[in-house]
């Protein structure tokens, strides 16, 4: 399934939304940082971190650009 999904280039708009959620993963609390298309609500990219402070949002944006093969004009938080 992953090989198939890696070949898909999603059709997303020019505005994306970044957000985070605190979740329990294998018994440990982690932050999941996500980038989603504002118009379609397509989940573009995600990163997992141990804490919110010091998180590098640039890595999430780079991953989103790689997945969509485009640059966003606007990122909301």
- Read off the pLDDT of residues 18-70 as tens digits, 9 standing for 90 and up: 999 999 989 999 999 999 999 999 999 999 988 877 777 788 899 999 999 98
d(CA 26, CA 65): 29
DSSP β-ladder status, 74-76 and 15-25: parallel
Instruction: Write out pLDDT tens, residues 4-29.
Output: 877 888 899 999 999 999 999 899 99
d(CA 77, CA 74): 10
Q: pTM of the full predicted structure?
A: 0.74
DSSP H or E segment with residue 63 = helix 57-68
d(CA 42, CA 48): 18
CA angle 6, 7, 13 (to 5 degrees): 90
């Amino acid at each position: 399934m992953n090989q198939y999904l890696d070949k898909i280039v999603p059709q997303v708009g020019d505005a994306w939304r970044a957000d985070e959620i605190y979740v329990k993963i294998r018994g440990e609390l982690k932050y999941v940082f996500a980038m989603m298309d504002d118009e379609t609500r397509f989940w573009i990219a995600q990163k997992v971190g141990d804490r919110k402070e010091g998180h590098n949002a640039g890595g999430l944006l780079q991953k989103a650009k790689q997945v969509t093969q485009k640059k966003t004009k606007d990122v909301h938080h």
